[in-house]
Amino acid sequence: MKKYIALIVVVLLASFAISGIALAGADVQELKPYPFPPAAPRDADASGKAVVNQPMGKVCLQVTVSAKGLDSEETYEVWIGDTKDWTSVGTFITNKNGNGHLHKNYRKGDTLPTNLNHVAINQPSVNKSYTVLMDADF
Mean pLDDT for each 10-residue chunk of the chain (138 residues)?
A: 41 37 62 66 77 88 92 92 87 95 93 84 78 75
**Residue 62 confidence (pLDDT):** 92
**Residue 91 confidence (pLDDT):** 96
**Residue 20 confidence (pLDDT):** 37
CA-wise closest residue to 111 among 49, 53, 64, 61:
61
Residue 131, strand partner residues: 122
The HSE-up count of residue 52 (CA atoms within 13 Å, CB side) is 20
**Residue 22 confidence (pLDDT):** 40
| 109 touches 98 (CB < 8 A) | no
Domain ranges of the chain: 27-135
**Residue 43 confidence (pLDDT):** 63
